[in-house]
Amino acid sequence: MSLEVAVRHRFPGFALDVAFTAPDGVTALFGRSGSGKTSVVNAVAGLLRPDAGRVVARGEALVDTGARLWRAPHRRRIGYVFQEARLFPHLSVRQNLLYGRWFARHGGDGPEFDHVVDLLGLAPLLSRRPATLSGGERQRVSIGRAILSRPRLLLMDEPLAALDEARRAEILPYLERVRDEAGIPILYVSHSVSEVARLATTVIVLDEGRVLRAGAAEDVLSDPFSAASAGIRGVGAVITGRIDTHHSDGLTELSTSSAQIFLPRVAAAVGAEIRVRIEAQDVTLSLTRPEGISALNILPCEITDIRRGEGPGVLVRLRSGADTLLARITQRSAERMGLARGTACHAVIKTVSVAPEDIGRRG
C-alpha cells in the first residue's frame, strides 16, 4: 500500500473527513470544486496541518496526531505539481529543475537528470527563464522539477486546469509517460472525467469533504451513483482494448472483450493496450442486432442496473464481456423497450463520437 490517508479538519463552514488507501499507480482524487480535494493533497504534503489524522506514505508515517508526530514539508520527500506551476522566476529552467535535486542529493536512487529532460522534452528550454515559457512548457518543467527531487510520492493538483484544450492535449501524453516510466505513485487531483479516465488506475470520489466512492477506475467511473456526483453530463465508462489494425481509411480496429470496435485513428502501435472512454450519451440501445445502420460499433450487452435520475433520462449500466458501459437514454425509451436488469441488448456507438482526448494508453 503506497499511501494511507485518514484526516479530519474543520475549516470555517466546511468539514473535511476522509480516509482512503491508494495503491501504486495513479490514484485520482475526483470531485467537484470545493469537495476538499486540494485540502487532502495539502495534508499529505504538509501544507495543511489537520486537526486529527494519520498519513503514511510507503510505510513511513508523515503525520500521526495520535502519536504527536508531525513531519515538516521539506522532510517528507513528496513531489508536488501545483495547478499554476509555481516555477521560481529568478532561476533558469535548468536551475528550477535542479532545485529539489540539490536538497535530495543524499536521497539515494532517483531518475537521472538527462532522462527526465528527455521524458518531458525539456532540452530546448533549459537555458530559458520561466517568464518566457508558455503555460504548457511551464507545467512540464514543474513536473520535471518534482520528479527530480527524488520523491517517494507525486502529488498533482489539477496540473492541467489552468491550460487551454490544445495545451492539455500536449501535456497528457507526457503525464502518461511519467506514469509508465518514472515508477512513482501519483495522487492526481482532477475534476475532469476524461483526464481521470485516461490516467487513473484507482479513483476516489470526494463530495463535500467525504469519500463517496473508491475503487478501480473502470468500476468507479461506470458506477451510476458516483456518476451522479460527477455531474450527469460528463458520465461515461472506460473500456479497454488492444489495437489490431490501422486501416487505410483512417480508422483503427480494436479488439475488446466482447467485439471488434472501430475508432478514429489512434496514435499507438499495433498490439498496444489502450483505454477508451465512451460517454453515456453517445450510446444507443437496441433489443435486436441492428441491420442497415451507419454506426460501426455494435456490442452485445446485458443490463446490470438502471438508475432513474431527475428529469426524463435514465442511466443504464451494461456489461459487455469483461467491460462495463453506460448508456443514457430517455425513461420513455426504457419503458417502451421494457428494459430491466438482465435484459440482453446491443449497444450502438458511432465511431466519430469518440473524442481523441478520451483515448489513452493503458498504464
Partner 1 sequence: MDWLTPEAWSAVVLSLRVSLTATLVSLPLGVFVAHALARWSFPGKQVLNGLVHLPLILPPVVTGYLLLLTFGRQGPVGGFLDQCCGIVFAFRWTGAALAAAVMAFPLMVRAIRLSIEAVDPGLEQAAATLGASRLWVFATVTLPMILPGILTGAILAFAKAMGEFGATITFVSNIPGETQTLPSAIYAFLQVPGGEGTAIKLVLVSVAVAMAALLASEVLAARMARRLSGT
DSSP line for 90-147: TS-HHHHHHHHHHHTTTS-----HHHHHHHTT-GGGTTS-GGGS-HHHHHHHHHHHHH
45 binds partner 1 (CB under 8 A): yes
Among 3, 5, 55, 78, binds partner 1 (CB under 8 A): 78
23 binds partner 1 (CB under 8 A): no
Q: Which stretch binds partner 1 (CB under 8 A): 40-48, 255-263, 264-272, 287-295?
A: 40-48
Closer to partner 1 by Cβ: residue 152 or 277:
152
- Of residues 130 through 169, those in contact with partner 1 by CB under 8 A are 130-132, 145-146, 149
Pairing of strands 251-255, 273-279: unpaired
> Judged by CB under 8 A, which stretch of 66-74, 170-178, 254-262, 331-339 contacts partner 1?
66-74
Cβ-based nearer residue to partner 1, 117 or 347? 117
Q: Does 38 bind partner 1 (CB under 8 A)?
A: no
37 contributes a contact to partner 1 by CB under 8 A: no
On the CB side of 182, how many CA atoms lie within 13 Å of its CA? Answer: 32
DSSP 232: G
Residue 80 C-beta: closest distance to partner 1, Å: 4
d(CA 137, CA 128): 11
- Number of residues near partner 1 (by CB under 8 A): 31
Nearest to 213 by CA among 61, 350, 20, 11: 20
Distance, CA of 15 to CA of 42 (rounded, Å): 15
Determine if 76 is a binding residue for partner 1 (CB under 8 A). Answer: yes
Task: Give the nearest distance from C-beta 250 to partner 1 in angstroms.
Answer: 44
Strand pairing category for 297-308 and 26-30? unpaired
Q: Work out how close the CB of 59 gets to partner 1 at its nearest, in angstroms, rounded to a whole number.
A: 20
Distance, in Å, from the CA atom of 363 to the CA atom of 357, rounded to the nearest integer, reads: 16
Query: Which residues contribute to the site for partner 1 (CB under 8 A)?
Result: 45-47, 72-80, 82, 84, 86, 88-90, 92, 99-100, 103-104, 128-132, 145-146, 149
